[in-house]
Amino acid sequence: MGVGHLSRCLCLAEALRVRGCGSRFISREHEGHRLAQIERAGMRLAALAAPQPCSVGGSEDYVAWLGVTQAQDAAESISALAGERPDWLVLDHYGLGGDWERALRPHTEHLMVIDDLANRTHECDLLLDQNFSRSMDERYSGMVPADCRLLLGPRYALLGADYARHRLHEPRRDGVETVFVFFGGSDPDNLTGAALEALELPSLRHLKADIVIGANNAHRLQLQRRAAERPGTAVHGPRPHLADLMSRADLAIGAAGTTTWERMCVGLPSLVVSIAENQRLGAEALAEDGLIQYLGAAQDVGSAELAEAMEGILAGKQDLAEQSLRSRLMVDGLGALRAAECMDPTARRQLRLREARAQDAELFFAWVNEAQVRRQSLNSAQIRWIDHQLWFRSKLGDARSRMYVMEAKSLPVGQVRFDITDGEARIDYSIDAPFRGRGWGRSVIALGMRRLIEGQRIIFRGDVKASNPASSAVFARLGFHESASQDPSGLKVFRFDPGLQTLPEID
């Protein structure tokens, strides 16, 4: 299990642990393994023996870098389960695929795959790929079973809870004062050294720098000596997380991969270098969308290229505030909680409603721009952030409007809004895409109605497009009555009078 794989698996395991679910890791003792980190995190571990050299004649079943066949690894993994049948078995390994998964399927209730290559078939119930791609919807076409659920895109990035806690909800300050540098655990190309060399130039020497040196960095002593000679430079070793350093920086220089989502979550603009071939396409796609500045592959980037990019930013050639905002809107740090909710669904009776607050603007923005929500809206065009922000602030301050967020074990999963005019409350609601089909639309409306009815007499109204039978069914099952005539706009109109009807139960 590579460092990035371990990091995201630990994040998922921790999100499940918060929900009361235990996790057990099965990993092999290959060169550079970090099994001790699993045990330090308080997780159970079954370690598979280090691989022995073998030859299987070029078979497609060969996990080349381990020297173990999929069949052999599957057999050892089954043995490591020791007869235990977990609710979920999660696979995160580039060298294992459909053959391994088919062998393990009889030994687990459900099987989940974490992948970001989309280069092989899978036999699983749930697949998570946190990468960004313009063709994400077709990325796994024909590679997974028809009934496999897909969690695709950076919204499902598996990050530790610290990144969501350190998110900045206000625009970053203008200019660059502090640079954050991190190129992973080993940094074999010594790009950290190249960044330090660039920062020593007269044009950049005034910048403060936080340099993080990974646990397996062979250049550690050299980097420490060099950093000690540069004013305003702090060196940091391995840390539980990097969220605090990222949140106080103005610009990052680092590798593509998991740290990309960490930087985006806290809204930190980045100069990015790919240090592995599988990082290149994702980095290029993010750059094309203006979310990072991609400088190229490690072999093509040195101190000169890093210096030129930083000098360009200081000269105002990049809109860092816009990059920061768009990054935050794409990665909110709740991906591990969403994945955990898909694996361990919350019962409807455990759903809770709270009032919306200012920092929920980004959540509502993601929900309102989700593809299906836009299709069912009278105006199907995407909402601009600046327009949404003004609208959201006005609604929060409007005594005639009430907005609520529904949570499943602290994870926001939907919203309901009531706009009140002349004793009638018009309802707007939505459920986050991965949690539709559970009946939660009825739950969020029923919870909101009970909250709103306190102390006042009011009629509830729901307007639904004729092309949206699912929402029509939601209102009908709650006891709303459809008006005999349609609204002039072509909407179906549903009404509920608490003076004549019993409020719907919350089951």
434-480 pLDDT tens trace: 999 999 999 999 999 999 987 678 999 999 998 899 999 999 999 99
Architecture of domain 345-496: 3-Layer(aba) Sandwich (3.40)
How far is it, in rounded angstroms, from Cα 172 to Cα 318? 14
CA distances from 377 to 43, 241, 428 (A): 46, 41, 11
CA angle 417, 423, 424 (to 5 degrees): 45
Could you tell me where in the chain the CATH 3.40.630.30 domains are found? 345-496
What topology is assigned to 3-152 in CATH? Answer: Rossmann fold (3.40.50)
Q: β-strand 411-421 against 459-465: which pairing, if any?
A: unpaired
| Contact call for residues 411 and 418 (beta carbons, < 8 A) | no
* Superfamily covering domain 164-330: Glycogen Phosphorylase B; (3.40.50.2000)
DSSP state of 46: E
- Structure token digits, residue 340: 């955990």
Could you tell me where in the chain the CATH 3.40.50.11190 domains are found? 3-152
pLDDT at 54 over 70: no
- Would you call 86 helix, strand, or coil by DSSP? coil
Could you tell me where in the chain the CATH 3.40.50.2000 domains are found? 164-330
Q: pTM above 0.85?
A: yes
pLDDT at 489 over 70: no
Q: Which residues have CB under 8 Å from 8's CB, separation 6+?
A: 92, 114, 130, 158, 258
The whole-chain average pLDDT of the chain stands at 92
Burial class (CB in 10 A: 0-12, 13-18, 19+), 374: middle
Taking only the tens place, the pLDDT of each residue in 3-31 is 568 889 999 999 999 999 999 999 988 66
Phi/psi of residue 104, nearest 5 degrees: -90, -20
CA distances from 470 to 262, 370, 433, 449 (A): 36, 16, 14, 19
From the list 193, 110, 115, the residue with the least C-alpha distance to 147 is 110
How far is it, in rounded angstroms, from Cα 57 to Cα 466? 61
From the list 444, 458, 351, the residue with the least C-alpha distance to 403 is 444
